[in-house]
Every structure is written in C-alpha cells, then in structure tokens.
C-alpha cells in the first residue's frame, strides 16, 4: 500500500489516498459528534430552542379583531356611574295656629282726629314651611277703650273679600298695613263717625282664629 503500482505517477495515487483518508476522518468525526450530542442532550435542546424561536405567535381570531376584549374595556366605577337623585320636597301642609304668631304695631301716640298706620304681622315660627290663608275677611284690627268697648274695626264699612293662600317658609314674616282715619266706626257703618276722645286705647289684631297680643295706644 505504501508503494502504489499503476500506469499513473505515484503522486496521483498518494493524493487519492489522502482524499479518501480525509473523507473517512470527517465521516467518523461527524458521527462521533452526533452520538455525543444525543448522549448529553444538547441535540434535543438545540432542536427545542430552534423550534421555540422559530414558532410564530398564534393568529388572532377574526372575531377578536372586530369585538374588543372585555379586559380592554374600562367600566365606570360605582361612584361615577351612580346618579344622585335630588331630594324630594314634601308638599307643605297647612299652618295651624300654633305654627304662627300674630302681632300688631302702631304708633305709641296719636293726635285726636288724625290718621295713623297700623301693621299686622304674621310669622311662621315652625321649622317647616306651611300654607296659610290670608283672605281679606280673615285679617282684622280692632281698637277698644280700656273698658272693652269697641271703638273701631278694620272690617267696618268694608265688604272686601279675597282668596289668598300663601306658603310661609320657616321664620318668614308677612306684614299688612291698614290706614286708620282717626274716626270711630261700627260693623253696620250706620252710626255717625267721630274722633274718639283723648285717652288710652287697646289695639288687637287677628288672622282667622289666631289673635295677637294687645298693644296700647295713647290718643291725645
């Protein structure tokens, strides 16, 4: 084998032998590496890595491209989605006599035969609003002497009537002014009217069945 025999030059046969030997060594080396890789698990790791890196993400279903996922939808919180209902206002009831006060105001002194302005005040002393009738026929001021004799009344010689209902808020005050002519009067308006004599007189007002305290007036 070391001395090739043939019609060709010896160098040709040597090159052929070197080429065959190289191929043989390559085949043997490659087979050994594959066996070593299989034995140590490197071959499987490499295959898995390649498969993992080369695998493409799963395609998005057609329906999810149209309808968004619920995870991406922001729902309003309970505080934001709750609409506060305005508090309901109960209808005001009637003003009973114990829910109001009636007061009269007048000048402390009036000259004989002169006009004076009397004022009737109605106040809501309750803690809730209420409705009261303020009809003309329910409002009255009466002037008496100290013996209790009737001297004048705001309803005398008048036939006015009205139908007025008003809602009073808590602590609200409503006032009505009445001009007194300075003369006496009586309900039938048939007796002569004249100035009352000088002296002390008592003025009282009312609204329906609720009476005011008495205010004293001096006529001089």
> Which pLDDT belongs to residue 178?
94
Please state, in angstroms and as integers, the Cα–Cα distance from residue 44 to each residue in 33, 50, 52, 57, 76, following that order: 14, 10, 12, 22, 51
**pLDDT tens digits in sequence order for the chain, 220 residues long:** 555 555 656 665 557 666 667 766 666 665 555 555 555 555 444 444 434 444 455 555 444 444 444 444 454 444 443 344 443 345 789 999 999 999 999 999 999 999 999 999 999 999 999 999 999 989 999 999 999 999 999 999 887 788 889 999 999 999 999 999 999 999 998 999 999 999 999 999 999 999 999 999 999 9
- pTM as predicted: 0.57
Q: How many CB atoms lie within 10 A of CB 152?
A: 21
| Three-state secondary structure of 113-173 | CCCEEEEEEEEECCCCCEEEECCHHHEEEEEEECCCCEEEECCCCCCCCCCCEEEECCCCE
The 3-state secondary structure of 84-119 reads: CCCCCCCCCEECCHHHEEEEEECCCEECCCCCEEEE
Residue corresponding to tokens 């140590």: 40
Tell the CATH topology of 93-219: Immunoglobulin-like (2.60.40)
């Amino acid at each position: 084998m070391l001395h090739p025999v043939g019609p060709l030059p010896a160098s040709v046969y040597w090159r052929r032998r070197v080429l065959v030997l190289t191929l043989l060594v390559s085949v043997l080396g490659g087979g050994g590496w594959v066996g070593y890789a299989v034995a140590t698990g490197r071959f499987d790791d490499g295959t898995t890595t390649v498969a993992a890196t080369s695998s493409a993400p799963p395609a998005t279903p057609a329906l999810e491209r149209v309808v968004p996922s619920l995870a991406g939808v922001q729902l309003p919180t309970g505080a934001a989605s709750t609409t506060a209902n305005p508090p309901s206002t109960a209808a005001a009831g009637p003003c009973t006599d114990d829910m109001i006060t009636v007061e009269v105001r007048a000048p402390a002194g009036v000259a004989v035969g002169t006009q004076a302005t009397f004022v009737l005040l109605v106040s809501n002393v309750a803690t809730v609003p209420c409705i009261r009738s303020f009809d003309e026929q329910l409002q009255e001021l009466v002037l008496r002497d100290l013996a209790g004799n009737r001297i004048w009344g705001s309803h005398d010689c008048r036939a006015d009537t009205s139908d007025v209902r008003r809602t009073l808020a808590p602590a609200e005050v409503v006032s009505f002014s009445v001009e007194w002519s300075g003369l006496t009067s009586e309900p039938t308006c048939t007796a002569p009217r004249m100035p009352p004599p000088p002296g002390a007189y008592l003025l009282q007002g009312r609204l329906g069945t609720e009476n005011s305290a008495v205010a004293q007036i001096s006529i001089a």
